[in-house]
Amino acid sequence: MRTEVFMVCPPWDHYRAYKRSAMWLMDNIPRKMMNAKVAFAFIADCLFNMSAPEHVVFIWVPNKFTEECRDYMKRLDYQYHQYYVWLRPKWKLGTTKQVAEYLMVYYKGKEPPKIEFADAFAQPFTGKVKSRDQKPDEAYAMIEARFPYADKLQVYGFTRRHGWDVCHRNLKK
């Protein structure tokens, strides 16, 4: 399968442990660090083994992990293209009702893709979701409108949309 469009929702809270995992010997690596190493290696393997030569990666990033995302994607040799801002509900107690989350766009290939929201989805968009596991339907609709015939794969996803395959769906224990 040669996928042209990926949507990835990595466990960014484990990225710092993943970066430090190279300093440990494999026989005594802590469990949390090993889980982070497995998660980010899985993403890299999916992108390397399942992708077409020219493809686009949409990657969800909470506001505080944008630099980690740029670092990780640069390690994987992707070119940064643009981002979209989603004002999502705040999941934990706090003073604000919305938190910024980014849908960053990276690509491999000769030229960057032309991707735009319709006028109704101006930035920042405020897609509604029922639970913290979901991403807004507006983002999927935008990708499906721009890439109607492309193979689409969500890595670490919860979607059950027509036309999307899910690799390693996060199942609750």
pLDDT value of position 74: 93
pLDDT digits 0-9 by tens, 59-115: 999 888 999 999 999 989 999 998 888 887 776 666 667 778 899 999 988 877 776
Band of the pLDDT at 173, cuts 50, 70, 90?
Answer: very low
Which amino acid does the sequence have at 51?
A: S
Domain annotation for the chain: domains and CATH numbers = 3-167 (3.40.50.150)
Q: How much is the average pLDDT of 111-135?
A: 69
**Is a pLDDT exceeding 60 seen at residue 35?**
yes
% of the chain exceeding 70 in pLDDT: 82
**Nearest C-alpha neighbor of 138 from the set 157, 156, 161, 155:** 161
